Amino acid sequence: MKNRAYRYYDLVMAAFVCVLLCANLIGVKKVTTIELPWWGAFTFGAGILFFPLSYLFGDILTEVYGYARARRVVWTGFAALGFAALMSWVIVELPPSKDWASNQAAYVYAYGSTPRIVFASVLAFFWGELSNSYALAKMKIWTEGRHLWARMIGSTMAGEAVDTLIFYPLAFYGVWSNQMLVSVMIANYLLKVLWEALATPITYRVVAFLKRAEQEDYYDRATDFTPFSIKVP
In a domain, 219, yes or no: no
- In a domain, residue 46? The reply is yes
User: Is 183 among the domain residues?
Assistant: yes
Give me the domain span that covers residue 75.
9-214
Q: What is the pLDDT along the chain (233 residues), one digit of tens a residue?
A: 456 789 999 999 999 998 888 877 776 667 788 888 887 887 776 777 777 788 889 999 999 999 999 999 999 999 998 898 888 888 888 999 988 888 888 888 777 776 788 888 889 999 999 999 999 999 999 999 999 999 999 999 999 999 999 999 998 888 889 998 998 899 889 888 898 889 899 999 999 999 999 999 999 999 999 999 998 87
CA distances to 1, 57, 59, 214 from 203, rounded to whole Å, are 23, 9, 9, 16
pTM above 0.85, yes or no: yes
Is 223 part of any domain? Answer: no
Q: Establish if 178 belongs to a structural domain.
A: yes
**Number of folded domains that form the chain:** 1
Q: How many helices (H) does the chain have, and how many strands (E)?
A: 8, 2
Between the alpha carbon of residue 38 and those of residues 31, 54, 139, 182, 190, the distances in Å are 21, 31, 37, 21, 17
Q: What is the CATH number of the domain that holds 149?
A: 1.10.1760
Residues 72 and 47: their CA atoms lie apart, in Å, by 24
Does residue 160 belong to any structural domain of this protein?
A: yes
